[in-house]
Amino acid sequence: MTESTERNVSLALDILHQRFGDRFLTGHSIREQHGHTTTYLKNQPPDAVVMAQSAEDVTWVVQVCAEHRCPVIAFGAGSSLEGQLNAPAGGVSIDMSAMDKILKVDQNDLTVTVQPGVKRVALNEHLRDTGLFFPIDPGADASMGGMASTRASGTNAVRYGTMKDNVLSLKAVMADGREITTASRAKKTSAGYDMTRLLVGAEGTLGVITELTLKLHGLPESIVGGVCNFPDIESVCQATIQTIQYGLPIARIEMLDEVQVRACNAYSKLSLAEKPTLFVEFHGSEASTQEQSETFNEIIQEFGGSDFEWTSNTEERTKLWQARHDAYWAARALRPGCDAVVTDACVPISRLADCVEETLKDIQEHNLLAPIVGHVGDGNFHTAVLIDMDNPDAVNTAKQFAERLSLRAIAMGGTCTGEHGIGQGKKSYLRQELGDTVDFMSMIKSSLDPLNIMNPEKIF
């Protein structure tokens, strides 16, 4: 193949159309659905969507796109929050949702090998009878490929880590069309550069993930969950800080501010006191969860925590955590017809109270409706500013608020994003956070994708 020197998207599209037939789609609504759909960022649809069924399909698409310098954007479940799926330079969206096979559960090695379109709920349903589970649980029912690409985490990360810690090895089609395997299946390795961790969090800018081998964890013998509330936001943060500093191996510790509790009560039919609240969960043996919950109870007493209700009843726990996962929808329901400008920041745990309190003050000063909810054990929290997206002033106000939050987290030694990624929305903050380091990231991008076809205009 000779190489063209300019993007020739339409030629690439013709070739792909011929190859994929009715798996090559250009309808307006399907293209829109494959651009960004979740937040305030403008939808920028790709020129076409290819429904992939195999790694060979992906290789084929990337090779054609490399030949004609056509952008390639992998699509999983469409739940990313920073514009990762938009196509500002046009090009092809490769929809991985049909690549949803669970290829091998290896109970002896506590691993599972999956195609990238497998979603987290389906994976754990499949694992149910094995006594194992996969702990990473972003709010949405995201795909494994997408979760790896944004370095996702969720409520269990405080104990089980993020995608960075739970991907053992990947297969990916790189920009030249070659499929590579990033690592062996050994639990530890010192064999060369950590290509697994480089692709995890690369947001599709270096390659398209075509297979993942993930670490699994044993379902705990005992799971105990509970809810408690606090007189104010500082107390809830301080109780969290103390829990982490104590070294309690808590499995989940989620904060909801008063507004978010009100939203969840209404949306998920709960009847929690409308106060700053923690949802917590302990995993271990019966004796260990008992011990952990007693220690936690002692800690929260110091900070005025009250109404502590425990349960090991599965149904009650499920209802609680479903409410937590629906927090985003509950927030939106607070102002019907509104949209949400969602943002995410993460600070060292010692600065959690400072960062949340200043953010709350900011919300009040600017008269915003913006519930706060967070994976506070990791120093990570989210806000959803509820606005009318047709009102440019409101959008602007919300964006300025998100910017102040990013810069506040950075100034406290934290990051502008704990788990959503940079995408289009946070490019300028990345530079503020890491300075010249971004130049070296950019050199890696240029060397592995010299034609800039892999999800261009993201991160950088």
Q: Which of residues 213-272 bind its own copies (CB under 8 A)?
A: 217-218, 241, 244-247
Number of residues forming the site for its own copies (CB under 8 A): 90
CB neighbour list of residue 119: distance below 8 Å, 6 or more residues apart: 77, 100, 141, 142, 143, 144
Task: Give residues 340-379 in contact with its own copies (rule: CB under 8 A).
Answer: 346-350, 375, 378-379
Q: At what angle do helices 286-302 and 233-246 cross, to 10 degrees?
A: 140
Which CB atom, from 6 or from 436, has the smaller least distance to its own copies?
Answer: 436
Q: Which stretch binds its own copies (CB under 8 A): 56-64, 67-75, 200-208, 387-395?
A: 200-208
CA distance 174 to 181: 10
Which one of residues 5, 108, 271, 367 is an interface residue with its own copies (CB under 8 A)? 108
Are the beta carbons of 216 and 126 closer than 8 angstroms? no
Which one of residues 226, 426, 453, 455 is an interface residue with its own copies (CB under 8 A)? 426
Task: Give residues 134-193 in contact with its own copies (rule: CB under 8 A).
Answer: 150-153, 157, 161-162, 164-165, 174, 178, 180-193
Which one of residues 58, 263, 398, 416 is an interface residue with its own copies (CB under 8 A)? 416
Which one of residues 430, 451, 453, 454 is an interface residue with its own copies (CB under 8 A)? 430
Q: Which stretch binds its own copies (CB under 8 A): 50-58, 267-275, 282-290, 334-342?
A: 282-290
Which CB atom, from 7 or from 445, has the smaller least distance to its own copies?
Answer: 445
CA 164 to chain centre: 12
Conformational region of residue 7, where left means phi above 0, alpha means psi within -120 to 50, and beta covers everything else: beta
Residue with tokens 């960004």: 36
Q: Which stretch binds its own copies (CB under 8 A): 64-72, 228-236, 268-276, 442-450?
A: 442-450
Are the beta carbons of 271 and 227 closer than 8 angstroms? no
Task: Give residues 314-343 in contact with its own copies (rule: CB under 8 A).
Answer: none
For residue 363, the minimal CB distance to its own copies (Å) is 21
**SS in 3 state form for 189-206?**
CCCCCCHHHHHCCCCCCC
Which CB atom, from 245 or from 306, has the smaller least distance to its own copies?
Answer: 245
Q: How far is CA 257 from CA 230, 239, 310, 363, 382, in A?
A: 10, 14, 20, 12, 11
Conformational region of residue 434, where left means phi above 0, alpha means psi within -120 to 50, and beta covers everything else: alpha
Which CB atom, from 217 or from 404, has the smaller least distance to its own copies?
Answer: 217
Which CB atom, from 195 or from 300, has the smaller least distance to its own copies?
Answer: 195
Tokens of 379: 């120093």
CA distance 267 to 220: 30
Q: Which stretch binds its own copies (CB under 8 A): 19-27, 90-98, 303-311, 405-413?
A: 405-413
For residue 4, the minimal CB distance to its own copies (Å) is 22
User: Under the criterion CB under 8 A, does residue 107 sit at the interface with its own copies?
Assistant: yes
For residue 75, the minimal CB distance to its own copies (Å) is 18
Task: Give residues 33-92 in contact with its own copies (rule: CB under 8 A).
Answer: none
CA distance 112 to 104: 6
Question: Which value, to the nearest 10 degrees, does the dihedral of the CA atoms of residues 199, 204, 207, 209 take?
Answer: 70
For residue 31, the minimal CB distance to its own copies (Å) is 26
Which one of residues 25, 62, 127, 200 is an interface residue with its own copies (CB under 8 A)? 200
Which CB atom, from 346 or from 394, has the smaller least distance to its own copies?
Answer: 346
Question: Which residues make beta-bridge pairs with 278?
Answer: 228, 255
For residue 344, the minimal CB distance to its own copies (Å) is 8
For residue 94, the minimal CB distance to its own copies (Å) is 20
Which CB atom, from 313 or from 440, has the smaller least distance to its own copies?
Answer: 440
In the chain the first and final C-alpha atoms are separated, in Å, by: 30
Which CB atom, from 36 or from 275, has the smaller least distance to its own copies?
Answer: 36
Residue with tokens 């050199």: 443
For residue 152, the minimal CB distance to its own copies (Å) is 8
Neighbours of 387 (CB within 10 A): 24
